[in-house]
Structures are given as C-alpha cells and as structure tokens.
Chains A and B, each alone.
Chain A
Amino acid sequence: MALVHDGDKRAFTVVFDRHVGPAFSLAYRMCGTRARAEDVVQEAFLSLWRTGARYDRARGSVRSWILSTVHHRAVDAIRREVAKEGYDVADEGLAERLPSDERTDSEFERRDDADRVRQAVGELPHDQRRVIELAYFGGFTHTQIAQILELPAGTVKGRMRLGLTKLRLGLSADGFVP
C-alpha cells in the first residue's frame, strides 16, 4: 500500500487484481445490479488510488480496508437511491430483501473462508441473521429495519448484538476472527 500511495502503478494493479473479486461480490450483493456494482467498485478503487495514504495497517488488512470502502460507497449509493425514489416500508417486497444463502455460485471457485463465513451466518437464528443482513447488505439503519419488520428499535439492536456475538464465537472457534 505504501507503493500505491507513492503512485506506483504496478502496485495498484496488483492490489486491484488481488481484491477486485471480493469487492465486486460485495457490491453486487448490496446493489443488486451489475452496473451499480461496477460503479461502486470503480469509485472505491479510484478513492484508494487517490487516498491510499489513509490506509492504517494497525486497523486491519488491506482487504478489510478496501471492502470497508466498497461497503460505505454501496451504502451511500443505496441511500441516495432510496432518498431519490423513496420506498414504502409497507411494501412487503422490502421485507423479502433477504439473504442469498440459497443461491448458487458453485460456478466459481469457492474459497474456504467464504464458505466458512457463509456457513456461520447461515447457522444464526433467522431473526438475528435477518437484521444483520438488512443492516450490512441492505444499508438500512436500525430505525428503518424496525419499521420494515414492525419491531421495537430496541429489539432490532438486541438481535444485532446477539447475532454478531454468536457469529464472532462461531468464527473465532475456527481462528477466523480474533
């Protein structure tokens, strides 16, 4: 990353090639269309190219930093769109904007860590998994989730906490997270 910061084009290309797959997968999962996902990933990598100095090794891996950037960009894009088009929280479709753990992606090499994370998320109780996915992949705030699921805000936060704690236990047992 230091080389990227110094404007090393080859270093940037290496970083791009190494991380674009997970970045695109995350953006696609969040945005739901190929075109929007491409825009988000492009914005994120351009930001990386311009502001690589902001990367702090002490706060995580390069991949985590890039995926965090992609996530923020995707949330911004989703919220911009919601602000522009609006949405009806009574629309039952929104409540169905749910996990894709039944989807097939066997066409590509699955990495062990992706399988492990997906499995751990899939093992969460449905109500906990639902609020985590709506928040992380859907870009919804806890207030919006409470409206969508017709639950008290405190319940939503409680499920997020329980779910993440369980997820952490499951992943840390494999040494996947500290």
Chain B
Amino acid sequence: MSDGKVMSQTHDCGGDAAAYVLGALEPAEADAFRQHLDQCAVCRDEVDALTGTVQALPMAAPQLAPPKQLRQKVLRATGTEPKRARRRIAWPVPRMALATLGAALLVAAVVVTGVELSSSGSSGRVIQAHVTGVSGSAELRVSGGRGELIVRNLTPPPAGKVYEVWLAAPGAKPAPASVLFGVNSRGGADVGIPATLTGISQVMVTPEPRGGSVSPTHAPVIVASLT
C-alpha cells in the first residue's frame, strides 16, 4: 500500500481492506492501514462493506450448545449468579433426622444411578473403550442415545495436535463428531458427544492437527464399540 491520496484516485489500494477486516494484516500494516483510512474514502467504503460480511462469519462455525458449567463460572465471576432461595421448613423436624433422610436419599440415588449405568439396557450403559498406542483408560457412557467419553491418565496429544472424536456407522467411514479435546495435567477429560449415537457402531478418537480434520489422518488411539 502506498500513499492514500494517490490510491484514492486510482481506486486500488492493494486489497488491504479485506485482510484488514479479517484481522490478517501484520500489526504494523494494520496501523498503517488505519492511518490510510483517514485519507482514502474508497478503502473506507470497502471496509464498511466487508465488515458486515466478516461479522456474519462466526455463524459459519458449527453451532454447539455451551457447557452447562460455563454459565455458572461466568455468573460467579461477575457476581451475578442468582442465589438459591432457601426454603424454610414449616414443621419442627430435628436437624439430625433431616440429615439422616438426606443421606438415605443420596445413597438411594447413587444406587439407582449405578444400576442404571451398569445395566446394558437402552436407558444407560458404560462401555470400556480400547486404548491403543498411548497410555491411559477410557470409557463411554451412553444414555438416551447420547454419549460422554471419560478419559483418565491419557497421554496428551502430540504438540500442535488435539484429539478428535469420530463416529462410525456399520460399513461407513468415520464421520467427525465436531468434538476436539485435550487432556488436563492428569490426563483427564470428560468429553460430551453432541451427536446422537443411534445407528453408530464405534466411537473413535485420533490425534489430529489443531482445528481438526474432515477425515482421520491417524490410527485410532481410542475405540469404543457400541455393538
């Protein structure tokens, strides 16, 4: 890009406007272009015209549901988390009795949940996944056609890569599940799989370049068979 006034006359500013609105100019170039905009109506018009288009680009990303805990974290950090209303017990029940009742209900809930998760029925089950080529363990929890992959002590993906989840139907190539993940310092991750697992025979994980791939570029390191 050269002098703005000259460029205004020629109506050719080297195409910096598009790179500018995409945020793709180098910092020094962006500063220079901002100064150029003060002088060049053509580039200002082009920036204005393309800004709306770039503002639409976020919608090109697959639309996912945010994690539930994110809301709680943000509202807590801003001090805007609504306080839960406390119920007053209207009748005189000894505190110890309430505690005992609560403990009993908790135990019952754990037992019911455990039974449900450990059963092989359609309501919920836990599938131990095979881990190959890396260390760690993985299990797939399936409930209501949805799945959550729980990994523990898993080797982190190689530098510059992430783990990507794939879903394979019988006889079909693995399809991306739109799920990329890394692991924490202990090799752990709880990974929700947004897609339904109905008709899926295998859930697989491969290391892929950051941003993911459209088809696997590496042999699976985790395979959970649903059939």
Contacts and interface: CB of A to CB of B under 8 A. Distances in A.
Contacts, number: 235
B62 A25 contact: yes
Given A38-B70, A108-B194, A164 B50 contact: yes
A64 interface: yes
Interface stretch (B2-10, B99-107, B112-120, B205-213): B205-213
Given A34-B67, A60-B55, A117-B57, A87 B160 contact: yes
B54 A136 contact: yes
Interface in A139-178: 139-143, 145, 154, 156-158, 160-161, 163-165, 167-168, 171, 176-178
Given A96-B209, A138-B211, A25 B57 contact: no
Contacts of A57: none
Interface stretch (B123-131, B136-144, B174-182): B174-182
Contact of A28 (B23, B64, B75, B167): B64
B175 A104 contact: yes
Contacts of A106: 195
B58 A67 contact: yes
B19 A42 contact: no
A97 B211 contact: yes
Interface residues of A, number: 88
A75 B52 contact: no
A24 B58 contact: no
Interface string A103-136: 1111111110110111001000000000010011
B122 interface: no
Main secondary structure of the interface of B (DSSP, over half): mixed
B53 A171 contact: yes
B25 A142 contact: yes
A46 B78 contact: yes
B135 interface: no
B169 to A, nearest CB: 11
Given A113-B59, A136-B23, A20 B214 contact: no
A104 B167 CA distance: 10
Contacts of B54: 136, 164
Given A12-B78, A85-B159, A168-B53, A42 B70 contact: yes
The CB with the most chain A CB atoms within 10 A, among B58, B195, B217, is that of B58
Given A100-B214, A108-B65, A22 B24 contact: no
A160 B63 contact: no
A28 B61 contact: yes
Nearest to A67: B58
Given A26-B61, A33-B180, A110-B63, A94 B209 contact: yes
Given A33-B182, A136-B23, A160-B18, A108 B50 contact: no
6 contacts: A9-B79, A96-B217, A107-B195, A121-B57, A135-B22, A160-B24
Return the 3 tightest CB-CB contacts between A and B, nearest first.
Answer: A93-B209, A29-B61, A105-B62
